[in-house]
Structure 1
Amino acid sequence: MFKLNLKIALRNLWRNKGFSLINIGGLAIGLASCMILLLYVAYEWSYDKQFTDHDKTYVVYQNAVANGKTFSWAWTPNAMAPEVKEKIPGVKYASHSTYPNAKLITSGDKKLISTVIFADQSFVKILDYKFIKGNPDQVLKGINTIILTKSFAKKIFGNEDPINKTVTLDNQDVLKVEAVIDDVPANTSINFECLMPWALFEKKESWAKEKNWGSNICLTIVQLQDNKFFAEANADMKGIYKRNQKDKFTADALLHPLDKWHLYSDFENGKSVGGKIDQLKIFLMLAFCILLIACVNFMNLSTARSERRAKEVGIRKAIGSSRKSLISQFLLESVFITFISTILAFALVEISLSYFNNLLNIKLQIDYGNIKFWIALLALMLFAGFMAGSYPALYLSSFEPIKVLKGLKIRTDSSVSIRKILVVIQFVFAACLIVCTSVIYQQLKYAKNKPIGYDKSNLIQISVEGRMREESKLELLKTQLLKSGAASHVTTFSKDITENGNNTTGISWEGKNPNEIILFNNRGIGDNFIETIGTELVSGRVFSDKFPADTNSVMLNEAAVKMMRLKNPIGAIITWGGNTRLTNVGVVKDFVVESAYQKVAPMIFYSSRRDGAAVIIVRLNPNQNISSSLEKIDELVRETEPNYPVRRKFVDESFEAKFQNEKLLGTLSNWFGGFAIFISCLGLLGLALFMAEQRKKEISIRKVLGASTANILGLLNKDFIKLVAIANLIAFPLAYIIINKWLSAFEYRVPISVLPFVLALSISLIIAILTVSIQSVKVAKANPVDALKYE
């Protein structure tokens, strides 16, 4: 019976090549789109789950109340890990480490900038990386040692065995290679190429030796013996700051699961409320919608062709076939078509994966050796096959053989109604996608074009390395950059101007409410900072070498003045850290250094002559060629510090990275929304093809009676236009709810205007009219004699 049903399925596919092509093509595109989206979701979902006890591992977060709200971050004091290990019940390991940062690693003539981490020995026990060489129980115990990843070891030593060879860190510390580990997976939150002992960090930064509860300098990771200890351990964590800071208590601590760190990174009032998981939910919904639209196409076209298969059903029933066997046959046809579509989908996925990997800057790939993948694929294929074939199978198998064989017209009212409902469902999804994609684009454009308080174009940052940290060398380089003509203005900054970090609550002033806690961003700035970045001085003056006492001066931004409620900010005495008295000499216009979607935080600036600078900020001379200016800048930097490679980048490119998630969402929505609309068009085209064929005689009679081509096109399009209009009316409230929830995450957001809804209605109507008319116009222009000559 199976063999017979398969032959019938093949025969029907061959006899109806046009419909088969539309069905297979639509399902293939739907399945391919669904597979790519699910691969991406699976990739993001697997973040930080590569480690053996990832489910028992937690990141210590700090909740601090300031500025009238709760801030949450995974920065903790160096005293946190020892305290947790000693005092918190159920803790197996507690580790502290620095966050990844760039350092120079040298071996012979090779000078490479590498991402490095300083960590204690518990780090590699909690995160059990695969050791290729070396003893995991003995690493990170010394001071001048280093662990390399496999790929970095190959970069610096080639094919030589790196064990016991030496490298130099920042041209200062000679380190012996004690182990090589497998490359850190791309889908992990802690990425590095070199791992070094925490004792080395303390050697280089002597202040890190002292246990300090007021300075958040590291990442603390905790692993429990068993998750049954979690409730008690988390409860004890809450008061850890209060127990150690006494009257200075300002924060609570909590344990945040490592395997949720990537997806649930957004906190509100000290509690995890979501993050990238919200984006994944959108992609899952998009994957389901695209597959559903493809399945709807199959249902529509199968039921539309019902009359052609009515006699087949009648004859098979007359010779003894049961309804159950007919349902089995039609479902087999559906699954068979889905199987062919899946093969084609595989080809489409393999062809397009490289493009999407470049687009998303990740490495998605199909793991053919993973049994879970094949089980998931089989489940997806069967789901699509049975879903697509369910209604046609039930509908076609319900025909009564006597009526069919007598030649009576089969009532298709119910199938027509179902087909209309299915078309409406398709265009509800399509309209929703158009509205949502339009608003995402508007929000991204708004955030990018919103004034950020300074001019980021033609602005570059150069990392201060080695001898450049010497004040005399730095001043000489600044002078040379200006004299060369490559730069119109030069200044320094204590951090990458587009990065977060460097916050303090230790600021007080006359009139401050002692119970009020305000969190300030603090940054060191150089002379000519205002002119270089292109911001404004609201009042007062800037730091200058004409004022040697500026090491005891600060500047504030407008948000800080407002938060501090200073009526006369210039000359205000500010106490920093309890005993350092500083004078405010100027007020700077608010400019963005953190999120472009949130309000600018209060900022306090100090002279970088006090603590040095991390970057040189250069405004390129607009009258010079950019390429030659960059070459000249690189040459001058190399002359100042020849032992380090030049690290520079454009500020606008760094700023662009802030919108990565929104760009990703917009790009994928555009692509797969377009696929969903295209699949809907395929279904509409097939339906229009069938409808025009069914009404060929009616159209011919109308033409004989004087109807024009335009009249006939209007007649054929009218029903579809009604369905699309109804679909939009249903889609608009749904789209509004979805997009309003998405926008609520941003303090700065575009208002939801009528434009995206008008655009969705216009596009869906134009698509429907064009799709139906492409086929209908052939019938409308056909010679009526051909259809009526046998009547």
Structure 2
Amino acid sequence: MFKLNLKIALRNLWKNKGFSLINIGGLAIGLASCLILLIYVSYEWSYDKQFANNDKTYVVYQSVVANGKTFSWSWTPNVMAREVQEKIPGVKYASHSTYPRAKLITVGENKLGSKAVFADQNFIKILDYKFIKGNSRQVLKDVNTIILTKSFAEKLFGNEDPINKIVKLENQDVLKVEAVVEDAPANSSIKFDCIMPWALFEKTESWAKEGNWGNNMCLTLVQLQDNKFFTEANGLMNGIYQRNQKDNTAKALLHPLTKWHLYADFENGKSVGGKIDQLKIFLLLAFCILLIACVNFMNLSTARSEGRAKEVGVRKAIGSTRKSLISQFFSESLLITFISTVLAFILVEASLPYFNNLLNISLQIDYSNVNFWFTLLALMIFTGFIAGSYPALYLSSFDPIKVLKGFKIKTDSSVSVRKVLVVGQFVFAACLIVCTAVIYQQLNYVKNKPIGYNQANLIQIAVDGKVRDKGKIELFKTQMIKSGAATDVTFFSSDVTEGGNNTTDVQWDGKNPKEMISFNHRGIGYDFIKTMGTEMISGREFSPKFPNDTSNVLLNEAAVKMMRLKNPIGKIITFWGFRLTVVGIVKDFVVESAYQKVAPMIFHLGTNDNANMIIARLNPNQNISSSLAKIDELVKGIEPNYPVNRKFVNESFEVKFQDEKLLGTLSNWFGGFAIFISCLGLLGLALFMAEQRKKEISIRKVLGASTANILTLLNKDFIKLVAIANVIAFPLAYIIINQWLSAFEYRVAISFIPFLLAVVISVIIAVLTVSIQSVKVAKANPIDALKYE
């Protein structure tokens, strides 16, 4: 029976090549889109799950109430790990480490910048990276040692065995390579090139030795013996700050490592989501695209119902049961699904390199994974049965006597079902058009919103090695301006576009002692305002003319507003125990998130020790390439042992929009695929309607109707369907997009333009799709349709 069903299915596919091509193509595109989205979701979902005890591992988060809201972050004091290990029951390991930071590693003349982590031994017990060489039980004990990743070891030593070889850290500390580990997976939150002992960090950064519960400077990881201890352990973590520092109002909590990447957004000290919300959108998108492809199959299969009616009648007349007919139609559906899946694989493999380049990740199909094949099989069966369900039940229901006598099949119910399916397709398509348009508007709004400074031709150069020596930054500044490469130069204590140091230890007259306010604080150099292209609201900036500026500060507008200072110039504030005078107010400018309000900020006069970035405004009258080459030459002249690390500020700023650009790009691509597949469904309905109304159209032509009249007649019904779809889609789209926008403090207002765009695009698509088939019918010779009447 199976062999017979297969033979009939293949014969039908070959006989109706046009329908088969549309069916297979539509399902293939739907399956390929679904597979790519599922591969991406699987990649994101598997973040940090490669470790043996990932389900028992937690990141310590700190929550503190400041500025009227609760802030939560995974930065903790260096004394947290020891306290947790000794005082919290059920803890197997507690580790403190730095986040990956830029460090220069040198072997002979080979000088490479690296992402380095300083950690204790518990770090590699919790995150059990695979050791290729070296003893995992002995590493990180000696101060002057280092662990390399496989790829970084190859960059340093080529094919040589790196074990016991010597490298230099920052051209100063001599370290012995004691182990080589596999590279951290791409879907890992902590990516590094090398690991060094925490004791070495304390040696190079003397301040790190001081146990201070108010200094949040490291990552703390905790692994429990069993998750049955979680409730008690997390309860005790809540008061750990107060138990060690009476006036500290911060609270700690254990956040699962496996949720660190996807559930990074916190509200009132509780995890409320994050990137997981984006993944839910992509899962819904994958399901809807596949469903649209299945609906197409239903439409196209039932559109040929009259052509297959006699086949069903004859088979029933010679004894076929409805059950066997249903089996036959499901066999055809599964065969088409199988062929479509093969084609989908080709499309996925061909498009993955493009999407990897687009998303800057490394997606690939893991053919050795049993779960992948199980998921694929389930997807094929689901698609085959969903796509074939309605055609199988509908076609097998024909009455053989009526069909063989030549009576017309009653098509009202099938037409209505088909119309419902097409409306459903265009509801989804209209929602996608509206949502994609609003995402695009939001991204453009935030990117083009005034950020308070001029990014054009602004570069930042990392301060490394001898550049930090006394007088060298001023020398470099003088040389750059004299060479004509830059017009203005200053320095900053951190990356202009990144977060940095913050504190609540700021006092002033009139402050409510119970109110916690968090201030960002940065060290800046002379000419900062001019170089950044921002402005002073009142007062003055720091200047060499005022030698006492080391005891003065600048505030931004947000700080003045938060402190409720009416006349801030001349006011005294106490910052970390130092009494400082406010001499100027700086216009608010974006430093961290472009989506959130500018935080209160204090600027103090920096020194060479805390100058981490030199900021330069390139000369607009000079060639950019030659200016950059000259700057590189000047940096090398001062510090030849470090690679020049510079970048344009606008490039760093652009990275902030990565998630939203990703959402917009994928919505554009897969929304386009969904609309294309919907067009195939509409084409199926148009084919059916044209076939049913062929004689009516011929009579109208005989009576004098023009091609334009007939096209209007045929398109009118479909425009009604599209209009109904838009009416249903708009409230849904509004709810979805309003919910998405609620996460941003700066957000675009939802206007009528995206909805108008959805109407125009969907109507144009419908008219063009239907007209392709309708023109053919409208221009046909009426004699061909009426000669048998």
TM-score when normalising by structure 2: 0.99
Question: In the TM superposition, what are the counterparts of 1:340-351 in structure 2 within 5 Å?
Answer: 340-351=339-350
Contact 2:60/2:253 (<8 A) preserved:
yes
Contact 1:22/1:683 (<8 A) preserved:
no
- Deviation string for 1:48-72 (max 9, x for gaps)? 0000000000000000010011000
Return the match for 1:756 from 754, 757, 772: 754
Which letter does structure 2 place at the counterpart of 1:438?
A
2:9 paired residue number: 9
- Deviation string for 1:131-158 (max 9, x for gaps)? 0000001111110000000000001100
Secondary structure at the residue paired with 2:196? Answer: strand
- Deviation string for 1:69-115 (max 9, x for gaps)? 10000000000000000000100000000001111110011110010
Separation (CA, whole Å) in 2 of partners of 1:207 and 1:464: 20
2:618 paired residue number: 620
Matched, 1:472 2:461: no
Question: In the TM superposition, what are the counterparts of 1:241-390 in structure 2 within 5 Å?
Answer: 241-246=241-246, 248-390=247-389
Please report how far the alpha carbon of residue 610 of structure 1 lies from its aligned counterpart in structure 2 after TM superposition: 7.2
Secondary structure at the residue paired with 2:588? Answer: coil
Matched, 1:678 2:646: no
Instruction: Provide structure 2 residue ranges, at least 5 long, that are not aligned to the other structure.
Output: none
Which letter does structure 2 place at the counterpart of 1:783?
N
Contact 1:95/1:120 (<8 A) preserved:
yes
2:553 paired residue number: 554
Question: In the TM superposition, what are the counterparts of 1:444-463 in structure 2 within 5 Å?
Answer: 444-463=443-462
Separation (CA, whole Å) in 2 of partners of 1:621 and 1:114: 31
Matched, 1:705 2:700: no
Please report how far the alpha carbon of residue 312 of structure 1 lies from its aligned counterpart in structure 2 after TM superposition: 1.2
Secondary structure at the residue paired with 1:256? Answer: strand
1:776 paired residue number: 774
Secondary structure at the residue paired with 2:499? Answer: coil
Question: In the TM superposition, what are the counterparts of 1:185-200 in structure 2 within 5 Å?
Answer: 185-200=185-200
Separation (CA, whole Å) in 1 of partners of 2:488 and 2:249: 41
Please report how far the alpha carbon of residue 571 of structure 1 lies from its aligned counterpart in structure 2 after TM superposition: 1.0
1:608 paired residue number: 606
Secondary structure at the residue paired with 2:596? Answer: coil
Question: In the TM superposition, what are the counterparts of 1:401-412 in structure 2 within 5 Å?
Answer: 401-412=400-411
Relative to structure 2, which stretch is displaced further, 440-449 or 391-400? 391-400
Secondary structure at the residue paired with 1:764? Answer: helix
1:63 paired residue number: 63
Contact 2:132/2:179 (<8 A) preserved:
yes
Secondary structure at the residue paired with 2:183? Answer: coil
Secondary structure at the residue paired with 1:228? Answer: helix
Separation (CA, whole Å) in 2 of partners of 1:140 and 1:552: 42
Matched, 1:492 2:491: yes
Please report how far the alpha carbon of residue 780 of structure 1 lies from its aligned counterpart in structure 2 after TM superposition: 1.2
Contact 2:119/2:197 (<8 A) preserved:
yes
Separation (CA, whole Å) in 2 of partners of 1:552 and 1:171: 34
Please report how far the alpha carbon of residue 687 of structure 1 lies from its aligned counterpart in structure 2 after TM superposition: 2.5
2:520 paired residue number: 521
- Sequence identity, in percent? 80
1:669 paired residue number: 667
Question: In the TM superposition, what are the counterparts of 1:101-180 in structure 2 within 5 Å?
Answer: 101-180=101-180
Separation (CA, whole Å) in 2 of partners of 1:96 and 1:612: 24
Which letter does structure 2 place at the counterpart of 1:558?
E
Separation (CA, whole Å) in 1 of partners of 2:183 and 2:316: 63
Separation (CA, whole Å) in 1 of partners of 2:313 and 2:784: 30
Which letter does structure 2 place at the counterpart of 1:737?
I
Which letter does structure 2 place at the counterpart of 1:21?
L
Separation (CA, whole Å) in 1 of partners of 2:59 and 2:695: 73
Please report how far the alpha carbon of residue 501 of structure 1 lies from its aligned counterpart in structure 2 after TM superposition: 2.2
Contact 1:503/1:519 (<8 A) preserved:
yes
1:202 paired residue number: 202
Separation (CA, whole Å) in 2 of partners of 1:618 and 1:677: 48
Separation (CA, whole Å) in 1 of partners of 2:718 and 2:465: 70
2:97 paired residue number: 97
- Deviation string for 1:700-751 (max 9, x for gaps)? 2111111011100011111111111000100001101100000000000001
Secondary structure at the residue paired with 1:184? Answer: coil
2:719 paired residue number: 721
Which letter does structure 1 place at the counterpart of 2:662?
L
Question: In the TM superposition, what are the counterparts of 1:63-82 in structure 2 within 5 Å?
Answer: 63-82=63-82
Separation (CA, whole Å) in 2 of partners of 1:782 and 1:408: 25
Contact 2:468/2:608 (<8 A) preserved:
no
Contact 1:551/1:609 (<8 A) preserved:
no
Number of equivalenced pairs: 789
Question: In the TM superposition, what are the counterparts of 1:567-646 in structure 2 within 5 Å?
Answer: 567-577=566-576, 579-609=577-607, 611-646=609-644
- Deviation string for 1:395-421 (max 9, x for gaps)? 111111121122211111110110000
Which letter does structure 2 place at the counterpart of 1:324?
K
Please report how far the alpha carbon of residue 774 of structure 1 lies from its aligned counterpart in structure 2 after TM superposition: 1.3
Please report how far the alpha carbon of residue 264 of structure 1 lies from its aligned counterpart in structure 2 after TM superposition: 0.2
2:537 paired residue number: 538
Separation (CA, whole Å) in 2 of partners of 1:323 and 1:229: 59
Which letter does structure 1 place at the counterpart of 2:646?
R
Contact 1:551/1:610 (<8 A) preserved:
no
Secondary structure at the residue paired with 1:139? Answer: coil
Please report how far the alpha carbon of residue 611 of structure 1 lies from its aligned counterpart in structure 2 after TM superposition: 4.4
- Deviation string for 1:581-619 (max 9, x for gaps)? 111111000000011111100000011127430000000
Separation (CA, whole Å) in 1 of partners of 2:450 and 2:609: 30
Please report how far the alpha carbon of residue 640 of structure 1 lies from its aligned counterpart in structure 2 after TM superposition: 1.1
Separation (CA, whole Å) in 2 of partners of 1:18 and 1:194: 59
Which letter does structure 2 place at the counterpart of 1:235?
G
Question: In the TM superposition, what are the counterparts of 1:32-43 in structure 2 within 5 Å?
Answer: 32-43=32-43
Contact 2:153/2:162 (<8 A) preserved:
yes
Instruction: Provide structure 1 residue ranges, at least 5 long, that are not aligned to the other structure.
Output: none
Relative to structure 2, which stretch is displaced further, 775-784 or 442-451? 775-784
- Deviation string for 1:494-528 (max 9, x for gaps)? 00000012110000011111111100010111100
Separation (CA, whole Å) in 2 of partners of 1:176 and 1:68: 49
Secondary structure at the residue paired with 1:491? Answer: strand
Please report how far the alpha carbon of residue 693 of structure 1 lies from its aligned counterpart in structure 2 after TM superposition: 3.0
Secondary structure at the residue paired with 1:86? Answer: helix
Secondary structure at the residue paired with 2:607? Answer: helix
Secondary structure at the residue paired with 1:532? Answer: helix
1:226 paired residue number: 226
Separation (CA, whole Å) in 2 of partners of 1:419 and 1:789: 30
